[in-house]
Chains A and B, each alone.
Chain A
Amino acid sequence: MAVVLQQAINGVVLGGLYVLVALGLTLIYGVLVQINFAHADIVTLGAFSAYFFMQSLGGGYIEAIAVAFVVGGMLGWAMNAAIFAPLRAGGNELLPLIATIGVSITMENAMLAWFGPIPYAFDSPYSNDVIRLGAAYITVQNALIVAVSLLTIGLVYVFIKFTFLGKALRAVSQDRETAGLMGINPDQLVMLTFVIASALAGMAGAMLGPVLVLTPFAGTSVIVKAFAIVIIGGFGNFGGTILAGLLVGLIESYTTQYLGPGMIDIVVFVLMLLMLAVRPTGLIAEKRDENV
């Protein structure tokens, strides 16, 4: 019983971690109907930003999370302004998608050149503190991941549902041209989406850094699962992404316990294929115009 409870805790932590990464992906897809392959590298850069802020500038971990959030947001702004927006303006929908692959490979290799291939030991002050509740335990870092995930989900939800900018974002995701006729500048809102999604990715990197193996490829190792979560949850579906993230986290934990970690990818990706075949709209079926 203790093992079942412990694996549930592990699964929720893992799910929270995946949700942090997948939220940005689903935001961009919801507004632009575009997959951003460079998202993983923003996660990685966020982790490195936080690491170097702490190591080189002596900053605290919580401030480092904020730094990663800002760095991610700035990177999202720069990428969209310099690369994606001009390509979208050309009218070809495929080019921005291909460009995200190019940006991803460029960033990965640039980070490899700057930071080197040797894994960094990114320990937050909470990495080794363990809270024990009877037979169960959770590290303070993992508890922080769950808390930040919940807070982020809540803030993003409030922003999208109740603020003017959030409503405008939804309007653009529903019908870009009509939103433009209503006085909303779609290009500015697309930029805002990129900034928010990338800021979230940067912050996710700072949260994941102490959990992941920090190398220039750190984000890449998570992004495949994040894509699976976005598909299982329903592309661009906010609630579905959260539910799918938790589901995948729990599946991983219990698969490790009862089938072995070698079976994790098989179970997760079979589930993804089943969703595509049986319920392509995702876990929470919504009309496309209600997404994001």
Chain B
Amino acid sequence: MRLRVCHFNAGAIAAVFVALVSAQASAEDKIIKIGGLLPMSGPGSYFGAQDKQGIELALEEINRVGIAGYKFEVKYEDSSCSPLPATQAAKRLLDQYKPDIVIGEECSDATLAIMPLMAQAKVPLLNAGSSSIRITEPGNPWTFRIMPNEVMQGVDIATHAYSRLNARAAVLLYENTNAGIGNAKVFNETFTKLGGKILADIGFGRDINDFTSIATRIAGVGKIDVIPTYTLEGQGLKITQALAQAGATKGGGGQAIQLGTIWLPFGFEQKAGKAAVGYIRIVQFDPTDQRPLVRNFIDAFKAKYNQEPTHLHAHAYDQIALIADTVKRGAKDADSIRARLAATKTFSGVTGSVEFDKTNQNDKMDTVHYMETLPDLSWRALKWN
């Protein structure tokens, strides 16, 4: 009898052990696979480098305990901020890694190129950094965007320039890409409709190095109030310095205020130096935001990387947090993640809040923060939104 009891106990223990092991194995197997299509090479590679830091911090925090029994992992592919390498990277991810969701790209041209592949594979794409209106218009059930699109940004910047800065004359400077052309077009339409005038409309390729000639041309067009500029960081630096040297902008003793976008990372002002004084630009993350969520993010980021987080770190962090939020709401695979993303109503991230409209565009404007560069190259939050 005792033996039988012992057998029963041993059997029960074995059964419990097996159950525990299998449960643990099952828990370990429950992974949400995230593909990261980020520019790791080329002129936009600073996006990828910073995005990755934000993603890694979010993964570290979320994977300490997991969400609803799920852990999260990210496989990165270099999409190079350009359509062809982006589609190749997307195919590799979809064929080999078979992700539940993909985050990226940062550059609109690359994002537009990978969208059809995601739709075909029925894998949701969560975008945080591309602004082209074509990404969410007329609507794609598999693509979601956290960041305000070029129309939302362009209308907002043009309206503030006209009403708050009393700007009446502008020169448009933009790279010849989908995003550059699109952003400039929206500014142009809004600003002229309000009564402003565009004195020059200057697009340029990413291979332009010396902006002295462009600055000379701008300095010669007459009195300018604002110069909306849509370009990546490297060219942005040289443009700002060239405009100051030509005496066109406030940083060079002129009148014009340069207006910039979220394309530029934090630290831009320190690199551009005094030429950046008076520069007003929008960022997707306000480091002076006092919400506990933001303060905790900043503290954790500084502890991990010994540096201040930028808006690129922040929006990449939010992408992972939003995916985790869908899992918390019951998502477990590509289809259910897509459904939960579409139903997102009250997500609050470090960049701001998220609620997708019928085109899967986040329609909240609290992710747009206006900052002005002061003479000591620090920032002043303008609190325009």
Contact = CB atoms under 8 A, between A and B. Distances in A.
Q: Do these two chains interact?
A: yes
Interface of A: 2-3, 6-7, 10-11, 13-14, 17, 109, 112, 116-121, 123, 127-128, 130, 137, 139, 142, 211-213, 215, 217, 221-222, 224, 252-253, 256-257, 260-262, 264-265
Nearest to A256: B213
B129 to A, nearest CB: 15
Interface residues of B, number: 41
Contacts of B46: 117-119
B62 interface: no
A262 B43 contact: no
Contact of B210 (A17, A128, A215, A265): A17
Interface of B: 40-43, 45-46, 48-50, 176, 202-205, 207-210, 212-214, 216-217, 220, 233-235, 237-238, 241, 244-247, 265, 270-275
A6 B220 CA distance: 10
A137 B220 CA distance: 13
Contacts, number: 109
A260 B202 contact: yes
A127 B203 CA distance: 25
A252 B213 contact: yes
Given A117-B46, A127-B241, 14 more contacts: A10-B212, A10-B213, A14-B213, A118-B233, A119-B46, A121-B273, A128-B241, A211-B209, A217-B42, A222-B209, A224-B207, A253-B216, A256-B216, A262-B203
Contacts of B270: 121
A116 B49 contact: yes
Residue among B241, B244, B246, B247 with max Cβ neighbours from chain A (10 Å): B241
- 4 cross-chain pairs, A with B, having the tightest CB-CB distances, nearest first: A117-B45, A213-B234, A121-B271, A261-B204
A262 B154 CA distance: 22
Nearest to B213: A256
A257 B49 contact: no
Instruction: Tell me whether chain B's interface is mostly helix, strand or loop, or mixed.
Output: helix
Nearest to A17: B210
A142 B274 CA distance: 19
20 contacts: A3-B220, A7-B213, A7-B216, A14-B213, A112-B41, A117-B40, A119-B234, A119-B237, A128-B275, A137-B247, A212-B238, A221-B207, A253-B213, A256-B213, A256-B214, A256-B216, A257-B213, A260-B203, A262-B176, A264-B208
A130 B245 contact: yes
A188 B41 CA distance: 37
B49 A117 contact: yes
Contacts of B40: 117
Contact of A261 (B202, B233, B247, B272): B202
Contact of B235 (A6, A121, A127, A213): A213
A262 B205 contact: yes
Contacts of B204: 260-262
Nearest to A252: B213
